[in-house]
Amino acid sequence: MTDVVLSREIARKFTGGETRIVVEAGTMRAIVRQLDEKFPGLKSILGEGMAVAIDGTIFQDFFLEEVGPDAEVCFLPAIEGG
Amino acid sequence: MAKNHVTTTINGEPVEFLCETQQTLLDVLRDELQLTGSKEGCASGDCGACSVMVDDRVVCSCLVMGVEAEGKSIETIEGMADGDQLHPLQQKFLENAALQCGICTPGFLVAAKALLEKNPDPTETEVRYWLAGNLCRCTGYDKIIRSVLEVAEEAKGA
Amino acid sequence: MDGNANGYRWIGTRTIRPDGVDKVTGRAAFGADFSLPGMLVGKILRSPHAHARILRINTDKAETVPGVKAVVTSADFPEIPPAEATKGSSPPNYRHLSQNLMAREKVLYDGHAVAAVAATSAAIATEALALIEVDYEILPHVTGVLEAMADEAPVLHEDLFTGGVDPKPEKSSNIAKRVEFAIGDTDAGFDAADVIVERDYDTEGIHQGYIEPHAVVASMGADRQANIWCSSQGHFMVRQYCAGLLNMSIGDIKVTPAEIGGGFGGKTTVYLEPVALLLSKKSGLPIKMVMTREEVFRGTGPTSGSYMTIKVGAKRDGTITAAEADLRFFAGAFPGAPVHLGCMCGFTPYDIENVKAIGYDVVTNRPKAISYRAPGAPIAAFGIESAIDELAKKLGIEPLALREMNAAKEGTRTAYGPTLGVVGFEETLEAAKMHPQMSEPLGPNQGRGIASGYWFNVGGESSASVSINEDGTITVTSGAPDIGGSRASLCIMAAEIFGVDIDQVRAVIGDTTATAFNRHTGGSRVTFALGAVVIEAAEDCVRQLRERAAKTWDIDIDAVEWENGEARPAGENAGKFEPLTLMDIAEKTPMTGGPIGVKKSSNVQGPGPAFGTHICDVEVDRETGHVKILRYTAIQDAGRAIHPGYVEGQMQGGVAQGIGWALNEEYIYGEDGRLQNPGFLDYRIPVASDLPMIDTVIVEIPNPTHPFGVRGVGEIPIIPPMAAVANAIEDAVGLRLTSLPMSPPKVLSALDDGH
Amino acid sequence: MNGMRYEAPSSVDEASALLAGASGETRVLAGGTDLLVQLRSGMVAPELVVDVKKIKEMMTYSVSDGAYTIGAAVPSAQLHEDADLLGMWTGVVEAMDLVGSTQIQGRASLGGNLCNASPAADSVPAMISAGAVCTVAGPNGRRDVPVEEICTGPGQTSLAKGEIVVTINLPKQAPRTGDAYLRFIPRTEMDIAVVGVGVCLTLDEGGTCTDARVSLGAVAPTALLVKECADALVGTKVDDAAMANLDAAARAAASPIDDKRGTVEFRTKVSGVLARRAAAIALERAGS
């Protein structure tokens, strides 16, 4: 099992306010698919311009990342630098 | 209108060029003579990236008319090293990482050389004020000032 | 920590950069130093108005001037429909980018480009610009962020509706979006607090202030194949943006990077390149365009100014129980202020249970904001680190001690979601406490300020190649512009892997045909991300070198070890062979299987986030409001300093920029919406005599995701200075300054009001 | 700038004749540190530029019986390197030395700084308080004009067509005389004065101020010679009371504007502060 943490903005729109969602471990692509099944439309905003942090490590392009069980995945805006 | 014919000396070599009256010495160096080591950062005398020596005084070449070079002796960054023998300031800048992007470096080197020729043993404050007309946005000046002071110190030892 | 002390041969040593000699002798070719035979000079006509509708542009007169070869306006650029505004991966908004490049229906700021001319000389081009007739219908303008957010404000974009709010607004607005990051329950947190501080802060727009103006030479062939030479933070970015803006295929564009004379985020987009390409296409000749300093200030991206409300509460014992920030950033003419990054970074130095950060991205009649060092973070930190200082004083706790009590560490939950991994914030605070500056006595009207800062750092797409040359020298080709010494750090990492002398390794920046795609240089990513790729390639080369030795000796590769730049039999059983140096093997490659070279490309992830803590001592002249920086120390977790000299340089440079931001730098607009200080005379960046030596302490808490532990270093040092200076002024004269810049007139009137 | 003509005559008369004979706009080129910026920005587009640096009289200086005659185009750096001149008219030389960077100092001159007619020119209040007089040459011969009568407004001078400032003449100093110039700028270098104050004062053996001249820059369309400021000092031992009156008089005399470099409030207050500080330095120089 993997914990997915969503921002309150996203939660308000898609999960009825629930910011912590439990999904099956797997690749990020699989996790996003599970989220989209649970909350239709969620997929649309979890791609472009978003990054994830898996156990605190930030991935800007993440669909292929493997997420182990007991890991925590947070969605956050992609980061631009100077 | 007809261009002006100018005869001058650059880095010890006799040079002749034609220029329009409105061309600055910096325009002439960069565009007519392909001496692009002197940089244009502002064209208003505020950044010092175009610093050159004219008759032993350091000036902003963006504030000198090309025609004024007539009969003068001009030194640019291209003339600072002696063949592949770098000037001590050039060497020290490299060793101390006193440059990051490097766009301001030629101006700093020309101005710093002029300082040490006038004042071989400057204080930190003297170096900072002498070089206040050379802007650097990368380094915070620290390593540049240290390099100039170290070269002065080592020259004393030598 | 310098070389060898850390167990490495080259990592942590102060080697001489491979591009150094060219840069101290004037030979290095920057953007404006390149030219082509027969090239024309291109110049841009810019709007004198802050906000106006373009009724008509007539270029007839200009086109008839002898020597004028081409004139372009927005009509010559493909219009990009909203549906196609974003294409490709992590793209810009091409519709906005195109409108910023060349104004269409409206000019949105003083300096907005409206037309461009190519001519045989600069004088003729200038003369032609004056003959272009533009009829404007002047519209009311707005340059301030609060004014732009007001209901009655003139609207810049009729099709802009505030995003991030439910329900979607029906009325268009200058507020492009609202973002929110929150954990816990701040109301409960403030109820639990014994002491609460709350204040408004504001900052002006400021410019990156790189000394090299934007410059390009572009040539479009009759076959629409294009060559571009320019200085930018990403030649692949230039290629991608030009293709997107001109409907060209990326394969038809080659971009060769010039040396770049400073960027700091300001050269992460295009201004001239697509215009030069169009002028070249129209004229059939190469075009050179170089901005004047005035154009740089009026036409290129500064960073946001802001209006912020910061509220922080704590228990008597110093435990911070809640923190809130309302950040309103202006983005200039098009959306895209880095306000979300300000929200994310601001409170991250602290372990706080209840945090809420709300951000607004607001358009105004100013140049479109672009990245500037740690985009957004320094602005938020000015307000937040000032508030932490005020809170400490109210609690009667030393500001440094309050930071220690609440310091973020591994496992701390951030307001933007994730928990932190291995980080070195506490170590920077410890180093600050120990630093001699903390015990330097202070005289009358002198004060000391502390501030900290956080930045994520960035990885991203990175491509490089490593080649073993026939004589055993090594060429490292990177695809990310070297903006401050990264060639030196790449050489060091490669030399470390190969175990050879540093002078055997040369790093060069390849053009867009030399390597696969690279994300632009920015976010403090190059030594980390390109480094990771170069290390991988170098290790692959070493494996092949062992393989060649194994073939030569006719033994198994596992029986060959690589040490100090040579292949040796691994132990007795492997057999007795004289070691083969890299040079020995390189010379023989034709007989052992051909040349050795490795190209690597990867989307490098897991950058090491990092923290910095600064100590600033000031003296205030109570009669003039002049603030003198007496001493300054910057402390930062670099993970691992590959070249300590350039790490220190990044820290010292960031501090100097921050001090300019704190004291004197600002965009000054008149009532007419025109920029009044577009030059280095009145846009006052620090000069050498304004600053003391800037002491640095490099803390090294290795980043677990990088082979040598590298974290980015370039962004963090600009985050704490504005608050450090403000906190020092407060310590000196007992006044809390909340408006940047803290220029003499502001300080003096505060002193007068204070009495 | 197209078609701009450049001439470098070797005598004042030739230069004056060229300027007088020109049909269009003309400019005199000394150090060029203001003129080239104006040319580049298109602020001015003269038909003729007359370079006066080939005119010996304007590029040299001399001292006789304690009075200095300084060629109007002599570069500031050269003046600053002259220990005697620096020792006598410290305020004037230091004021000129504040103009721009080292690079600017290699070119900029007292005559150029004066004739550019910027209200914020650093050397002008110092020259005015020193009682400097210009020798002006033109088609109708030469005349001597006090420095304070040259500038009539921003960019405007009282010079007639064909007239040139040839020399700046600094008088012989009375015993126990000292001068000083201070300016306020936001940075430590490279800025235009937000306020500038020149003070020159003379003491008797007893240390009482017998003569004083005080000039304010950047707080009016031209540098001001403020009698009320001098009156605050003359007859006093330049004590705290006198300083307070000087401060008040300077603030009263200042009539600045709000602009990108400073506010009315700021400039007014700082005029008084700098007047006091400059007077204190001049006092010390007069005493030593």
Query: pLDDT tens for residues C657-692?
Result: 999 999 999 999 999 999 999 999 999 999 999 999
- Clarify whether residues D141 and D244 are in a common domain: no
Contact C668, C728 (CB under 8 A): no
Q: Which residues of A touch C180 (CB under 8 A)?
A: 7-9
Q: Looking at the complex, does the CB of residue B11 fall below 8 Å from at least one CB of chain C?
A: no
State how far residue D244 is from chain C, nearest Cα, in angstroms. 14
Backbone dihedral angles phi then psi of residue D232, each to the nearest 5 degrees: -65, -20
Give one DSSP letter per residue of D161-172, joined into a string: TT-EEEEEEEPP
ipTM: 0.96
Nearest-CA distance C43 → chain D (Å)? 15
Does residue A82 belong to any structural domain of this protein?
Answer: no
Output phi, psi for B47, to 5 deg.
-115, -20
* DSSP run (H or E) holding C203: strand C195-203
Residue C1's pLDDT is: 39
Mean pLDDT by runs of 10 across the 158 residues of chain B is 91 97 96 97 98 97 98 98 96 98 98 98 98 98 98 91
Which residues of chain D make contact with C668, given a CB cutoff of 8 A? 260
d(CA C687, CA B115): 17
Instruction: Give C60-103 as a DSSP string.
Output: HHHHHSTTEEEEEEGGGSPP--GGGSS-SSS---HHHHHHHHS-
pLDDT digits (tens, 9 = 90+) for B9-48: 999 999 999 999 999 999 999 999 999 999 999 999 999 9
Residue C289, SS3 per DSSP: strand
Most B CBs within 10 A among C15, C22, C210, C211, hence the mutation to make, goes to C211
On whether both C598 and C630 belong to a single domain, the answer is no
Considering the domain architecture, whether residues C732 and C659 belong to the same structural domain is answered as yes
Instruction: Find the angle CA(C172)-CA(C173)-CA(C177) to the nearest 5 degrees.
Output: 110
How many structural domains is chain B composed of?
A: 2
Query: Could you give the CA distance from residue D156 to residue C125 in angstroms, rounded to a whole number?
Result: 32
Q: How many domains is chain A built from?
A: 1
Domain limits for position D97: 56-170
Across the interface, whether the CB atoms of A81 and C164 are under 8 A apart is answered: no
Could you tell me what percentage of chain A is helix, strand and coil, using 3-state DSSP and rounding each to the nearest 5? 25, 30, 40
Three-class SS of residue D56? helix
Whole-structure pTM value: 0.97
Q: Kindly determine whether residue C25 and residue B86, on different chains, have CB atoms separated by under 8 Å.
A: yes
Residue C145 belongs to some domain of the structure: no
Residue C277 contacts residue C228 (beta carbons within 8 Å): yes
- Cα distances (angstroms) measured from residue C700 to each of C408, C425, D229: 17, 11, 61
Suggest the residue from D43, D99, D101, D188 to mutate for an interface test with chain B (most B CBs closer than 10 A): D101
Of C555, C588, C604, the one marking the end of a domain is C604
CB contact under 8 A, B59 and D53: no
Give the CATH number, domain containing residue D80.
Answer: 3.30.465.10
Pairing of strands C505-509, C474-478: parallel
Same-domain status, B67 and B105: no
Same domain for C353 and C378, yes or no, is yes
Judging contacts by C-beta atoms under 8 Å, the chain B residues touching residue C289 are none
Taking CB atoms and an 8 Å limit, are C371 and A81 in contact across chains?
A: yes
Cα–Cα distance measured from residue A75 to residue C612, given in angstroms and rounded to the nearest whole number = 25
Count of domains observed in chain D:
3
- At a CB cut-off of 8 Å and minimum separation 6, what does A12 contact? C166
**Sheet containing C133-138, strands listed edge to edge, beginning at the edge strand earlier in sequence:** C106-107, C52-58, C133-138
Domain's final residue, options B26, B45, B79: B79
Separation CA D199–CA D182 (nearest Å): 9
Q: Give the span between the Cα atoms of D276 and D266, in whole angstroms.
A: 16
Chain D residues near residue B64 by CB distance under 8 angstroms: 32, 36, 107
Same domain for D202 and D236, yes or no, is yes
SS3 D224: strand
From D144, D170, D196, the end of a domain falls on D170
| Per-residue pLDDT reduced to its tens digit, C374-399 | 999 999 999 999 999 999 999 999 99
B residues 33..72 contacting C (CB < 8 A): 35-44, 46-47, 49
Cβ–Cβ under 8 Å, residues C331 and C362 = yes
A2-5 sheet: strands from edge to edge: A20-23, A2-5, A72-77, A50-54, A57-59
Q: Which of C554, C587, C604 delimits the end of a domain?
A: C604
| Structure tokens given for D194 | 């937000």
Tokens for C449, please give them: 């300020």
Weakly modelled stretches of chain C, pLDDT under 70: 1-4, 88-91, 755
CATH number, position C538:
3.30.365.10
Task: Decide: C180 and C339 in contact? Cβ < 8 Å.
Answer: no
Q: Which of B65, B72, B92 is nearest to B3 (CA)?
A: B65
Q: Which residues of chain D have pLDDT under 70?
A: 1-2
Judgement on whether residues D191 and D263 belong to the same structural domain of the protein: yes
CA distance D115 to D127: 13
Identify whether residues B114 and B59 lie together within a single domain.
no
C419 token code pair: 């928990």
**Residue C442: inside a domain:** yes
Minimal CA separation from C383 to chain B, in Å = 24
Distance CA C268, CA C264 (A): 9
* pLDDT in the model for residue C89: 57
> Where in the sequence is the domain holding B35, given as residue range(s)?
4-79
DSSP H helices, chain B, are 25-27, 88-95, 105-118, 124-130, 142-157
**CB of D192 closer than 8 Å to CB of D268:** no
Say if residues C465 and C514 touch (Cβ distance below 8 Å).
yes
The string of pLDDT tens digits covering residues A8-63 is 888 888 898 898 999 998 999 999 999 999 999 888 888 777 889 998 888 888 88
Domain containing residue A63: CATH number: 3.10.20.30
Mean pLDDT rounded to a whole number for chain B: 97
How far, rounded to the nearest angstrom, does the alpha carbon of residue C403 sit from its chain's CA centroid?
A: 27
| Domain closes at, from D141, D170, D199 | D170
Residues C320, C406 contacting (CB under 8 angstroms): yes
pLDDT score at A77? 87
Residue A20 lies in a domain: yes
Do C89 and C224 sit in the same domain of this protein?
yes
Distance from CA of C4 to the nearest CA of A (A): 30
The three-class DSSP label of residue C290 is strand
Nearest to D30 by CA among B65, B132, B49: B65
D265: domain CATH number?
3.30.390.50
Within a domain: residue C3?
no
E-assigned strands of C674-732? 694-699
Give the CATH number for residue C63: 3.90.1170.50
Largest CA distance in chain B: 56
For chain A, the C-alpha Rg in angstroms (whole number) is 12
Instruction: For residue D26, give the CATH number of its domain.
Output: 3.30.43
Q: What's the domain range around A28?
A: 2-77
Domain count, chain C: 3
What b/e sequence results for C579-610 when a residue is b if at least 16 CB atoms lie within 10 Å of its CB, and e otherwise?
ebbbbbbbeebeebeeebbbbbbbbbbbbbbb
Residue B16, domain CATH: 3.10.20.30
Does A50 map to a domain? yes
pLDDT of residue C150: 97
Q: Are C311 and C197 in contact (CB under 8 A)?
A: yes
C-beta separation of B75 from B110 below 8 A: yes
Please report the pLDDT score of residue D119 as a whole number: 97
Q: What is the dihedral of CA B24, D107, D100, D117, to 10 degrees?
A: -90
Tell me the sheet residues that pair with D53.
none
Q: Which two tokens stand for residue C673?
A: 């919406």
Identify whether residues D47 and D68 lie together within a single domain: no
Q: Mutate which of D1, D102, D188, D192 to test chain C, going by most C C-beta atoms within 10 A?
A: D188
End position of a domain, from candidates C604, C623, C639:
C604
- β pairing state of A50-54 and A72-77: antiparallel
Residue range of the domain that includes C474: 20-28+459-604
In a domain, A22, yes or no: yes
